[in-house]
Amino acid sequence: MKKRILLIQPRTGSWDAMSMRFPESLLAVAAVPRAKGYEVDLLDQRLDRQWKATLVKLLAREPVLVGVTSMTGEQIGHMLDILGFIKGISSVPTVLGGIHATLLPEQSVMHPLVDIVCQGEGDFTLYEIAENLYEKKSLNNVKGVYFKESGSVVYTGKREPIKDLDILPMPPYELLSMDKYSTFEIGKGRSATVFTSRGCPYRCKFCASPVASPTWRAFSVKRVMDNVRLLQERYSVSNIYFQDDNLAGSLSRFKDLVSQLASMDKKIQWGTLGIRADAICKLTEEDIRVVFESGCHNLDIGVESGNPRVNKFIKKDESLDLIREANRKLSLYPIKAKYTFMVGFPTETEVEVKDSVDFAIKLCVENKNAYTLFFVFAPVFGTEFFTLALEYGFKKPDSLEGWRHLTLDRWLEKYPSWLNGKQIKKLEALSFVSYFANQNVSYKFTRLYLKIIFFLYHPIAKLRFRKQFFFLFFERIFYR
């Protein structure tokens, strides 16, 4: 048997329709085995309609293991479909990783289709699992692993987070069909995703990041720039989306990174998934100018609520005045400012939801480059709000299959909650309409049919949002 592993990215659901980002978690866990001499195959179900036929061919290469990532929600269903197909034709050990497996390792490993669970960062864990399986040794000495033995679950103990991320090999981008991925459309050339850090030290009650990875750690700026240049020079990438939970976890490092991006001979355009308003407020006017000159196209900022009570209740630790100050600073340059909100929290009233919409409108009035998106709150296992959700009527799934319906846009249809039918329909409408209400969001849509839908529906959505008319939601049939 050759030293070979197979990694699989399941579909994620409706998110796949908007854009196709790199399977970053699989690239991360592939890097160490590949550097240590393993051959790695990567199957992305999102891109392969004939994935079963492809999987048969890949399993014929006799991998040591098959690793599949997991995220709570619809992806769980696709992941189980994949594992079920594998178990029907092969006895290869199946390893489950990802955020869902990290948060619920014991329930996950008890599923008959799952042999091993990799909890937490899998960079070295997966390699060590592969080595022990290849050499037919016990997994007892591999930290961060759950596996079944004689009908019982064995846990090998916690693996400490990697402190120096620079020791990790560069992501093996050669495993990807690069032309099939598109993160956003903001200019000519390919787009790519990059992580420059891991973790988040803040305490937002709804977020899994402080639970799964409460310590913020970062690649050095030199390493990030090496990654950027690799993508630019070898793969013709000119647009990069930094997928960090908190890109400016260190303000001095952020300034250094931005300065070096600004100094590139051939600049890229970039945006980020995560930056806090309080970090932006600490930047000077000159700092903001350098951010723009570095190629910054968009910054995604979590607001969560435009109501002071709810803002404090969720432990956002940012005042609404501070968010407005950050918005004012950004308004001086043509940087798309995406502000995300959440609605449907336990104890949140309809008046407080209206406050959030009012605040969203205010941000867009004060910054012509801003836009706002609304998401319906969903309880994430392990967070403070998950415990509160249970107190308010939510029923926790008692099996791995049950978590497949815990999606941001559909979970309220499957699980009991504190909201009635009328409230649910209103929040669904608000969320859907927010995606089409502002012209600034259009770059997020990379599929042609979605661009057409956006063009046609935008005038209606804009009117609905401005007037806050979310009833008689006839669009629901298209939403479904």
Segment 235-280, tens digit of pLDDT: 999 999 999 999 999 999 999 999 999 999 999 999 999 999 999 9
pLDDT of 413? 83
pLDDT band at residue 116 using 50, 70 and 90 as cut-offs: very high
pLDDT digits (tens, 9 = 90+) for 196-207: 999 988 888 888
pLDDT tens, residue by residue, 263-322 = 999 999 999 999 999 999 999 999 999 999 999 999 999 999 999 999 999 999 999 999
pLDDT tens, 396-444?
998 999 999 888 777 888 889 999 989 998 999 999 899 899 998 887 7
Tokens 């037919």 sit at which residue? 136
Q: Full-prediction pTM beyond 0.75?
A: yes
Neighbours of 418 (CB within 10 A): 16
Q: Which two tokens stand for residue 417?
A: 């909650």
CB 18 within 8 A of CB 181: no
Q: For residue 319, what is the DSSP state?
A: -
Q: At what angle do helices 125-134 and 24-35 cross, to 10 degrees?
A: 50
**Mean predicted lDDT score pLDDT of the chain:** 93
Query: How high is the pLDDT of residue 379?
Result: 93
Q: What's residue 183's pLDDT?
A: 76
Residue 53 exposure: Cα atoms within 13 Å on the Cβ side = 3
The model's pLDDT over 371-391, given as tens digits with 9 standing for 90+, comes to 999 999 999 999 999 999 999
In whole angstroms, what is the distance from residue 224 CA to residue 253 CA? 11
pLDDT of 7-59, one tens digit each? 999 998 877 776 789 999 999 999 999 999 999 999 999 999 999 999 999 99
What distance in Å separates the CA atoms of residue 230 and residue 150, rounded to the nearest whole number? 47
Element (H, E) at 33: helix 24-35
151 — pLDDT class (breaks 50, 70, 90): confident
- Give the torsion sign (CA, 408, 357, 20, 386): negative
- Residue 456 has what pLDDT? 87
Assess whether pLDDT exceeds 80 at residue 113: yes
Query: Would you place residue 185 in the very low, low, confident or very high pLDDT band (cuts 50, 70, 90)?
Result: low
Structural domains in the chain, sorted by start: 4-155 (3.40.50.280), 182-479 (3.80.30.20)
Q: What is the percentage of the chain residues whose pLDDT exceeds 90? A: 79
pLDDT band at 479 (very low <50, low <70, confident <90, very high): low
pLDDT digits (tens, 9 = 90+) for 208-224: 887 888 889 999 999 99
Distance CA 38, CA 63 (A): 10
Residue 93 pLDDT exceeds 80: yes
Joined tokens for residue 310? 């709810």
Phi then psi for residue 336, to 5 deg, are -65, 125
Cβ atoms of residues 385 and 208 within 8 Å = no
Token pair recorded at residue 463? 């009117």
Lookup: tokens for 396: 């926790």
Separation CA 377–CA 429 (nearest Å): 14
pLDDT at 136: 95
Residue 38's nearest CA partner among 164, 122, 137, 126 is 126
